Amino acid sequence: MRRTFIPIGFSLVLIFLTGWQQLSACTNYLVSKGASVDGSAMVSYAADSHIRYGELYFSAAHDWPQGSMLTIYDRGTAKPLGQIPQVAHTYQTLGFMNEFQVSMGETTFGGRNELTDSTGVMDYAYLMFVALQRSKTAREAIRVIAELVENYGYASSGESFSVGDPNEVWIMEIVGKGTKMEFDKRTKKYVNINKGAVWVAVRIPDGYVSAHANHARITGFPQSDGKVSINSKQFDMLNQKELHFIYAHDVIDFARANGWFNGSNEEFSFSDVYAPLSFDAARFCELRVWSMFNHVTDGMEDYWKYAVGEQNSKRLPLFVKPKRKLSPQDLMSFKRDYLQGTELDMSKDAGAGPFGLPYRWRPLTWKFDGKEYFHERVTATQQTGFSFVAQMRSWLPDAVGGIFWFGVDDAGTTVYVPFYSSIKAVPQNWSEGYGDILTYKHDAAFWVFNRVAHFAYLFYNRLMPDLQKVQSELENKFKENTAAVDEAALKLWHSNPELAKDFLTDYSASMAGLTLEKWSKLYEFLLVKYLDGNVKQEENGSFKRNQWGYPASPEFPGYEDSYKKMVIEETGEKFEMPNNKKE
């Protein structure tokens, strides 16, 4: 793994109950094969961070000399945490998907602050990348994560991982054991006797969907399935298809020893013990899960009070059965959610301003006149570095089956471009290290999309129809292309797998280039049309001129009545014209 993997992920948060604007960061969806329109398994992830740069990571398969070591870095600071032995061979990864279509996402839930291990080596992001480089299935990825934290210590706070392959999707939740130093007479050094982590992994039943968004979601689980001791042969049970729950051998005992749980094993809840629910966890995190579930199933009104933070309310289920089959495009749509259609619609309250902007600038919580207030934390957010939908298809060869639908910047204003997981290179404009969050490059995908997004934030409800038109045209084109591209790639694969990969590399690069070309032209169009708050007259993308070629007069749309009313209520007669007043 190259040193340039340092920027992956978002800032490491070590303390629970503080810094919620950083902690409430990412949103994941999981779709089982039986819940999708075509039998795909899917994992979706948004990397939300104020310092995360949108770039498509790539690591080619590699054979390593004996004795090679891998340096692990902290994701929030780039500080080296330590080294671990490299394996003989690592698999190709594209973003958060590998050559066998294994895919991962994550959200941080923090958990009890005393469980952070200051001596750990394995950062949450490196757990993901190392697992992807060493696993052919989701179950293998879970095993790799468990073994790594047991052997080298866990350096991050509580995490929920989405782990999927063409046949299964799992949620794995993990938190460290804290730091308890004792002197080791053998090594004559102080060592952390709590090294490692407690964790539990649950397979999402076929036909169901799940989600997580910065709060631990696994509560109780059957305890006859997969209690695991790391250095035993019990991991052989992973091959048993009937195994739906896997958990660390001491996940309950450790809680008992620390006085956090004293009930029966059947009463144990991972989330309640290791990440106790708070108003923040519900309103800023579980509300995003509720919103996704609300799109796909009925009866979610029963969980509204819980989602908005009312204590002792009916808790959200870990997974639900959707009333219709879902596509990658559905997950893209859910990524653009800002509670439309609910009483908390971000485009409808005073904070939306005169142009219905469904975003709020940070900090997430704020104080005024001695009281603390908050902004809603919804799925669509301005500080997304990148997001994706990983589509994993079991009926196709891995080289053709995996599609990594990837978008940079805000999900609401991005375009999800199809990158097949077997491609041999990433287009330069999208590649890792081509610009960064402090280095502007005019043709880097991240900056191309940021230019459009920042202009859209100025006149949101005016611009979005124009933006969404191009966004839909591109994403619909990619969707319609997929069957033909699959068919052509499959024919090549049967005769020459390398030619199939070359073909998919060229196709992915072509669609990525087309997207940037269209988006750059969109920016030029929007700048001209909405310059200075006016709206130029246009038809079918062409701006109107009079019969002598002079620009037609623009329209002056002004403000919505709701905004006018608010101004009048605040200012009274201050701006009232004198001729309105009767003698």
Give one DSSP letter per residue of 502-514, joined into a string: HHHHHHHHHHHHH
> Is residue 4 very low, low, confident or very high in pLDDT (cuts 50, 70, 90)?
very low
pLDDT in tens, 105-161: 999 999 999 999 989 999 999 999 999 999 999 999 999 999 999 999 999 999 999
Distance CA 102, CA 167 (A): 10
Average pLDDT over residues 369-398: 97
Higher local confidence (pLDDT), 541 or 208:
208
Q: Is 219 helix (H, G, I), strand (E, B) or coil?
A: coil
- Whether residue 312 is predicted with pLDDT greater than 70 in this model: the reply is yes
Q: What is the pLDDT of residue 17?
A: 33
pLDDT in tens, 221-280: 888 766 665 555 566 667 778 889 999 999 999 999 999 999 999 999 999 999 999 999
pLDDT in tens, 452-509: 999 999 999 999 999 999 999 999 999 999 999 999 999 999 999 999 999 999 999 9
Cβ neighbours of residue 100 closer than 8 Å, sequence gap 6 or more:
91, 135, 136, 137, 165, 398
pLDDT in tens, 281-304: 999 999 999 999 999 999 999 999
pLDDT in tens, 436-463: 999 999 999 999 999 999 999 999 999 9
Q: What is the pLDDT of residue 381?
A: 97
Distance CA 305, CA 310 (A): 5
The stretches of 410-459 forming alpha helices (DSSP H) are 445-458
Assign 3-class secondary structure to 59-73. Answer: ECCEECCCCCEEEEE
The stretches of 258-397 forming alpha helices (DSSP H) are 270-274, 279-280, 287-296, 304-307, 328-334
E strands present in 249-402? 319-320, 365-368, 371-374, 384-392
Distance CA 120, CA 148 (A): 10
Average pLDDT over residues 379-395: 97
Which residues partner with 551 through β-bridges?
545
Q: Is 248 helix (H, G, I), strand (E, B) or coil?
A: strand
pTM for the structure as a whole: 0.93
Q: Tell me, rounded to whole angstroms, the distance of Cα 361 from its chain centroid.
A: 19
Distance CA 416, CA 405 (A): 5
Q: What is the pLDDT of residue 243?
A: 86
- Residues belonging to the chain: 583
Distance CA 162, CA 128 (A): 10
Cβ burial of 222 (10 Å; 0-12, 13-18, 19+) is exposed
**What is the percent of the chain with per-residue pLDDT over 90, rounded to a whole number?**
86
Q: Which among 178-187, 330-339, 567-576 has the top mean pLDDT? A: 330-339
Distance CA 353, CA 435 (A): 33
Cα Rg, the chain, nearest whole Å: 25
pLDDT in tens, 17-57: 334 444 457 999 999 999 999 999 999 999 999 999 999 99
Distance CA 95, CA 421 (A): 9
- Cβ count within 10 A of residue 519: 21
> Which among 507, 426, 524, 506 is positioned nearest to 470, based on CA atoms?
524
* Residue matched to tokens 């994550």: 106
Q: Tell me, rounded to whole angstroms, the distance of Cα 176 from its chain centroid.
A: 22
Average pLDDT over residues 425-441: 97
- Cβ count within 10 A of residue 258: 15
> Is residue 7 very low, low, confident or very high in pLDDT (cuts 50, 70, 90)?
very low
Average pLDDT, the chain: 92
